[in-house]
Copies of this chain bind each other. A is one copy, B any other.
Amino acid sequence: MATKTDKAWAEHALAALQEAGFKRGGARTAVVEALAGHSCAVTALDLDHELRRRKPAVGRASVYRALEQLEQLGLVQRLEVARGTAGYERVEPGGEHHHHAICRHCGRMVPFEDSSLERAIANLSAEMSFEVTDHDVILRGLCERCSN
């Protein structure tokens, strides 16, 4: 799990976008770069605020558009981080991924990964009459700090 700007992911994402037929555009590139700088989920509005103050300001619509395109290509993962608010985070090319435990009280998000959980989901997916391409697992409760 990267914690610093993930340049490799950014390049991978930009290449994938180009391959998908998108033209190079400043706004989309800015969104990719911004995402590369966050190791866990960020909301679209956070990105919007972060990018609004750039030299050529990025519009909110562009942020949402870029996120949607990235999600379609499997480059970012979308998840509900709070009631009615989505968070987005980059997906590592390797396929390795994590899930989240979210605190009901303070909203803190703790990432985790678990192979037996992934295995159970893989087996299950294989047995269903449903073509499963993705999955989300969210644990909810109280984080260490709030459980007292």
- Interface, chain A (partner B; CB < 8 A): 80, 83-84, 86, 101, 103-104, 110, 112, 114, 116-117, 119-121, 123-125, 128-144, 147
Query: Is the contact region of chain A dominated by helix, strand, or loop, or is it mixed?
Result: strand
Chain B residue contacts of A83, Cβ below 8 A: 86
Given contacts A86-B83, A112-B128, A121 and B139 within 8 Å (CB-CB): yes
Quick check: B125 and A139 within 8 Å, CB to CB? yes
* Sampled A-B contacts (12; CB under 8 Å): A103-B130, A104-B133, A114-B124, A116-B120, A117-B120, A119-B120, A130-B147, A131-B147, A132-B141, A134-B140, A135-B139, A136-B136
Q: Which residue of B lies closest to A138 (CB)?
A: B136
Quick check: B141 and A138 within 8 Å, CB to CB? no
Q: In the complex the two chains form, what is the Cα distance from A142 to B103 in whole Å?
A: 31
Chain B residue contacts of A128, Cβ below 8 A: 101, 110, 112, 139
